[in-house]
Every structure is written in structure tokens, then in C-alpha cells.
Chains A and B, each alone.
Chain A
């Protein structure tokens, strides 16, 4: 039994006593693997896929896997932003309502029944509004010192109302084909939405681990006080993460909502629950400082697959009513398992 990969080599290092080295008995490698929540989620994901594939091999057909990815691409994009927000020890539950509002705006601007604006211009407006709402969240949280759960709860309600006012209870139809291309089209055989999501995920990963800004986001979430002493501006960093999330919601709307031929006033409802849950299942700590983009992506895939698995298990139509119950139970189990694992680690 070794005690930790590096300290074990110096159980009694002459300089500074290593307090952590004395009392651990779980094998170091296993422990560090368990500590990486991403591995746990990945294993769970693999198990789920395997189990479903055994019951119904059709699940593994490329077309189906592609559908899973396409369906979850917008969630992954938003979740990347929310990961950063949660890493700074804040939260954003307005993303679903914002996506709803942006869908309405997008539809009203481009539909042949309404403004029928140039699609590129409309897309820019959608991104600008998303970024702007994110910035308002950020200003209220960082500069007006209103707790983020309050700000984004208020936004959740207000934006939902604004969406319904805009759409007046009607569905928007007749979206131009050039817009629909974002949701349905492919480039070199790969759907645009998957490409966009992949690009943004990679960008977010680089941001998180390879840039000064990224490390500062983690520093602020880990210890605001120390961050201030290190010369960082927690306010500006928090403003950034909320603004960035707003922008990503805009992108997710453009590639996610356009796969439908009509825009439903209820779009975006409960997205915030899905996204926040995925981020947390993916290993982010809501007390800040901890969380990775790859974990979040795995979390989104896991939750997304659990959602679609039921139809593939061929358990009958009546069972679709149980979808949310099973999803909820699954989350509880994941949280429980993770927690028990985490406890051992500590």
C-alpha cells in the first residue's frame, strides 16, 4: 500500500513534514482516479451505453448517435458557460428563459410572417441580445452585489414573461431556409450544430486551462479574498463569465432551435435545470473553484442519453410517462455515488 504518488517517496522528508502523507491507506493510483470525477462520469456513461446497446443494438446506429449529439449540442454549449459561472461560485438559472427569449426574437426577425430580416443580421442581433442580457446579469451580480441566484431567478421569470408577451401565445412558422441550415444542415457530413458545439467546447477548454483569464476564473472561485490580494479583479472576472454565458446561450439558440420548423413559446423551459444538473454531475462544485469543461460535456451526454434511453429499451409507450422520474432518480443516484466516493477520498 503506497500512500499518494509523490509524497510516499519522502515519508519523512527532512525539511517540511508532509502532513498528508501519514494516514492514507487507499492505493494512490485508484484514489487519484476516483478523485477525478470525470472518470466516474465517463465510466457511468460507458456502462449506460453498453447496457442499452445490449438490449437494443439499434441504439448504436450512427444515425441515432448523431441524433443524440445533435439534440444535446445546445445544452453542451450553454453548459460550458455555466461551468465557468459555477466555478466562480455563482449560478445562472436564467439560461433557459434567455434561450426562449432569443428564440422568439430570432423567429420574429427572420420569419416570412414577420420582419423577414436578413438572416446574418438577425443572427448578429440574437448574439448581441444574448451577450447583453448576460452582461446585465453580470453587472447586477458583480457590481450591484445582488446574489446571483436572485438575479438569475428574477431574470428567469422576467424573460419568460417577455417571451410570452412577444409571441402572444402563437407559434412562429415559416423560418427562412438559410436560418434552418444552422440547425439541420451539415458541412462535410457533420451537422453544423455538432461542429459549432465542438469548436466552442475546445475553445472553452483552452480558455479554462491554457489562458491567464481561465486560471484567474478558477482563482476567484477558489478564494475571492486571495484573488483580490493577487491583484485580480473578481468583479470584472464575474462580469466576464456571465457575459460569456449570455453569448453562448445566443449561439446555442441559433444552432439548437433552428432544427425545428416552428418556434414554440415554451422553448427553453427547464433548460436551466438540465444544464445546472449536468454541470454538477460533471464534477463542478457549487461552492466554487472546481469543475472542468470535459466533465461538464460528459455530464451533458450522460443526462442526455438517459433521457433517450427509455425509448430504446422498448418497454412500451406507457413508460414514457416515467421518463422524468427515472432521470431524477438517476441524478440522485449519481450524486449519492459521487458523494460516497468523495467522502472516502477525504
Chain B
């Protein structure tokens, strides 16, 4: 086990500012992922082909895009349970306004505004009214999905124009949602690792008051993060509607749990202060590959849940057991 101070001596330049937060977790994730893919290549050679993987990847992007703002939020020691419901509300707004004759592009704008509004409302309750994020988003989880149900009366809207459904298609052989995700991931990673705001996000996760007393506008950062989560949910709602050619109030049911699972699996501490975009990407990948493999190999979608749940607990358990114990 690497002792923090030894590490400092070994690489004083690289670890000039922060040590102790090593790449243990990412290492564990890569090992798990590699193990899974090697095993998969042996028992199901078709599964690991590039073409298969590209086809299967259509399922991953919504989860992946939502995981980015969620990573930032969890690093500030917050949480957003309402993303799945926000997705549903955005999808319903998109569908209903399209059915009412709005051009699809404008309907997308309406959906985005809805997502923005949902995020801002969460943010206001959390940052300005100062209610615990778990409580706020637990409440909006019900409220937003309830609104979606109320507006849609439980009906599904489909038959979107082809121009719209192509959003989930390919561009130069690569999936458009994937390209979007790559762009967002890059921006998030830079923002988190290289900007003052990114540093503030980490510091907030450890001690918000001390940040406020250092002149950091913690409320503004929180408001922005929850708003980003709402916007991301509206984007995924659009992508989902395009991919499945349907929009209803059940969209994104249970999505929040998948997203949080992926982020935490990726090594972001639920207590805040620690986490990285690369970890989240690995977490999303691991969940995705596990799911697809389980359903490919055993042809059983139900088993996936058991595997993912156990995976989540095991990875965090492994991580706690592997990292050296803090001072008593």
C-alpha cells in the first residue's frame, strides 16, 4: 500500500498540490473491465467485435451524458435524484408540443427550456433555500414525473419525423450522441481539473463554509451545476425520443439510480471532494459492458440488475479495503 508521504517524495513535481488521491480506483476498474472483455472474447467472440460494440453503444450515451454533471454534483457532496423524472417531463413536453403542431426543432427548444427550469428549481431550493439536495431532489423526483404523467395522461407520442430520429444516428461512421458525449466529457474534464471553478468544486465537497469564507460563490456554483444536470436531462430526453421514436411519462424510470451507480462505481466519493471524469467514464463503460454481456450471454435482462447492484457494492468495498486506512 502506497503511503501518501512516500509518494510525495517519489514524484514531488507531479504531486505538487494534491497527493493521497491515487489512481487506485481507476486501476481496479480497468482491471475489471479488461477481465470482463477477455472473458467475453473467449465465450462470445462475436460480442467483442467492433461492429457489435458500436451497435450496442446506442444504449450507453444517455447514461454517459447524465453521468457528467452528476459527477460534478456528487463531488460537491450533493446529489440529484430527479434526473430521470426531468427526462420524462422533457420527453413529454417534446412529444406533446410536437403533437400540437409545433415544428420539431421548436419542440426540442421547449424540452430544453423545461430541463433548464427543472434544474433551476432544484438549484434554487438547494443553493438559496438551503434544503439538503437529497430531500429536494427526492421531492422533485415525484413532482416532475407526476407532471409528466399529468400532462401526458399516460399516453405515448410517437411517429416523429425522420429528420428528428436521425439525431441518434451516425455521422461519419460514429454515433452522433457519442460525439456529443466526447465533447462534453472533454469540457467537463478540463473544467474540473484545470479551472478555478473546478478546484472550488472539489473544495466545496470537503468544506463548503470554508469555501464561502474564501470568497468562492458556492451558491452560484451549486445553482449552475443543478441547472446543468437539468439541461443534460433534456438533451438525453431528446436523444431517447429520437432513438426509440417515442416519448412518454415512463421515460428514464430508475435512470437516476443507474447514473449514480455509474458515477460512484467510477470512484467519485459520495461524501464529496473526490472524483474524476476519467473514473466516471470507466464506471459507465463497466456498467454498460457488464449489462450487455450478461444479456448477450445469458439472454436474461433481469439478471443484469443483480449483477450491477452487486458490482456497485463490491467495487466500493474493494476500494475501501485497498486504500490505506486514515488516521484513527
The reply to whether A and B meet directly (CB within 8 Å) is: yes
Nearest CB in chain B: distance from A328 CB, A = 3
User: Are A325 and B143 neighbours in the complex by a CB distance under 8 Å?
Assistant: yes
Nearest CB in chain A: distance from B137 CB, A = 10
Q: Is B167 an interface residue (CB 8 A)?
A: no
Within the complex, which residue of A91, A280, A332 is in contact with B140, where a contact is CB–CB below 8 Å?
A332
Chain A's interface: helix, strand, loop or mixed, by majority? helix
User: Are A321 and B131 neighbours in the complex by a CB distance under 8 Å?
Assistant: no
Nearest CB in chain A: distance from B123 CB, A = 14
**C-alpha spacing A280/B152, complex, angstroms:** 30
Q: Is B316 an interface residue (CB 8 A)?
A: yes
User: Are A154 and B313 neighbours in the complex by a CB distance under 8 Å?
Assistant: yes
Size class of B's contact patch? 35 or more
**C-alpha spacing A336/B124, complex, angstroms:** 11
Within the complex, which residue of B129, B143, B271 is in contact with A147, where a contact is CB–CB below 8 Å?
B271
**C-alpha spacing A8/B180, complex, angstroms:** 64
User: Are A324 and B313 neighbours in the complex by a CB distance under 8 Å?
Assistant: no
Within the complex, which residue of A158, A162, A318, A323 is in contact with B146, where a contact is CB–CB below 8 Å?
A323
User: Are A140 and B142 neighbours in the complex by a CB distance under 8 Å?
Assistant: no
Q: Mark A317-331, 1 if CB is under 8 A from B, else 0.
A: 010011111111101
- Interface positions of B from 107 to 147, Cβ below 8 Å from A: 125, 129-132, 134-136, 138-147
Cβ-closest chain B residue relative to A325: B146
Nearest CB in chain B: distance from A309 CB, A = 14
**C-alpha spacing A54/B71, complex, angstroms:** 49
- Interface positions of B from 152 to 210, Cβ below 8 Å from A: 152-154
User: Are A286 and B135 neighbours in the complex by a CB distance under 8 Å?
Assistant: yes
Q: Is B264 an interface residue (CB 8 A)?
A: yes
Q: Which residues of A contact B125 (CB under 8 A)?
A: 332, 335-336
Q: Is A276 an interface residue (CB 8 A)?
A: yes
Nearest CB in chain B: distance from A193 CB, A = 25
Given A153-B261, A156-B257, A286-B132, check contact A322 B149 (CB 8 Å). yes
Q: Which residues of B contact A155 (CB under 8 A)?
A: 309, 313
**C-alpha spacing A322/B304, complex, angstroms:** 32
- A91, A325, A327, A329 interface centre (most CB from chain B within 10 Å): A325
User: Are B138 and A165 neighbours in the complex by a CB distance under 8 Å?
Assistant: no
Nearest CB in chain A: distance from B150 CB, A = 4
Given A147-B270, A286-B135, check contact A157 B316 (CB 8 Å). no
**C-alpha spacing A287/B145, complex, angstroms:** 27
Given A144-B317, A157-B308, A286-B134, check contact A331 B142 (CB 8 Å). yes
- Interface positions of B from 295 to 328, Cβ below 8 Å from A: 300, 302-313, 316-317, 320-321
User: Are A326 and B270 neighbours in the complex by a CB distance under 8 Å?
Assistant: no
Cβ-closest chain A residue relative to B82: A328
User: Are B304 and A161 neighbours in the complex by a CB distance under 8 Å?
Assistant: yes
Q: Is B260 an interface residue (CB 8 A)?
A: yes
User: Are B146 and A150 neighbours in the complex by a CB distance under 8 Å?
Assistant: no
Q: Is A146 an interface residue (CB 8 A)?
A: yes
User: Are A328 and B141 neighbours in the complex by a CB distance under 8 Å?
Assistant: yes
Q: Which residues of B contact A277 (CB under 8 A)?
A: 135, 138-139, 142
Q: Is A115 an interface residue (CB 8 A)?
A: no
**C-alpha spacing A153/B153, complex, angstroms:** 30
**C-alpha spacing A326/B150, complex, angstroms:** 10
Size of the chain A interface, CB-CB below 8 angstroms: 42
Given A149-B270, A157-B257, A276-B138, check contact A324 B306 (CB 8 Å). no
User: Are B149 and A324 neighbours in the complex by a CB distance under 8 Å?
Assistant: yes
User: Are B309 and A325 neighbours in the complex by a CB distance under 8 Å?
Assistant: no
Within the complex, which residue of A154, A273, A339 is in contact with B310, where a contact is CB–CB below 8 Å?
A154
User: Are A273 and B305 neighbours in the complex by a CB distance under 8 Å?
Assistant: no
**C-alpha spacing A144/B257, complex, angstroms:** 22
User: Are A273 and B261 neighbours in the complex by a CB distance under 8 Å?
Assistant: no
Q: Mark B66-94, 1 if CB is under 8 A from A, else 0.
A: 00000000000000000000000000000
User: Are B153 and A150 neighbours in the complex by a CB distance under 8 Å?
Assistant: no
Nearest CB in chain B: distance from A313 CB, A = 15
User: Are A328 and B144 neighbours in the complex by a CB distance under 8 Å?
Assistant: yes
User: Are B317 and A153 neighbours in the complex by a CB distance under 8 Å?
Assistant: no
User: Are A158 and B309 neighbours in the complex by a CB distance under 8 Å?
Assistant: yes
Q: Is A160 an interface residue (CB 8 A)?
A: yes
User: Are A324 and B145 neighbours in the complex by a CB distance under 8 Å?
Assistant: yes
**C-alpha spacing A280/B147, complex, angstroms:** 23
User: Are B310 and A158 neighbours in the complex by a CB distance under 8 Å?
Assistant: yes
Q: Which residues of A contact B312 (CB under 8 A)?
A: 150, 153-154, 157
- B139, B260, B320 interface centre (most CB from chain A within 10 Å): B139
Q: Mark A42-70, 1 if CB is under 8 A from B, else 0.
A: 00000000000000000000000000000
Cβ-closest chain B residue relative to A331: B139
User: Are B136 and A335 neighbours in the complex by a CB distance under 8 Å?
Assistant: yes
Cβ-closest chain A residue relative to B308: A157
Q: Is A164 an interface residue (CB 8 A)?
A: yes
User: Are A165 and B309 neighbours in the complex by a CB distance under 8 Å?
Assistant: no
Q: Is A293 an interface residue (CB 8 A)?
A: no
Q: Which residues of B contact A286 (CB under 8 A)?
A: 132, 134-135
User: Are B153 and A321 neighbours in the complex by a CB distance under 8 Å?
Assistant: yes
Q: Which residues of B contact A135 (CB under 8 A)?
A: none
* CB pairs A–B below 8 angstroms (20 shown): A144-B317, A146-B317, A150-B312, A154-B309, A155-B309, A156-B309, A157-B312, A158-B306, A158-B308, A161-B304, A161-B307, A318-B153, A321-B154, A325-B146, A328-B144, A328-B145, A329-B146, A332-B139, A335-B135, A335-B136
A140-B313, A328-B140, A339-B131 given; 18 more Cβ-contact pairs under 8 Å = A144-B317, A144-B320, A146-B313, A146-B317, A147-B271, A154-B313, A157-B308, A158-B306, A286-B134, A286-B135, A322-B150, A325-B145, A325-B147, A327-B146, A328-B143, A328-B146, A336-B131, A339-B130
The 10 closest A-B pairs by CB, nearest first: A328-B143, A158-B309, A325-B146, A161-B305, A324-B146, A328-B142, A157-B309, A161-B306, A154-B313, A322-B150
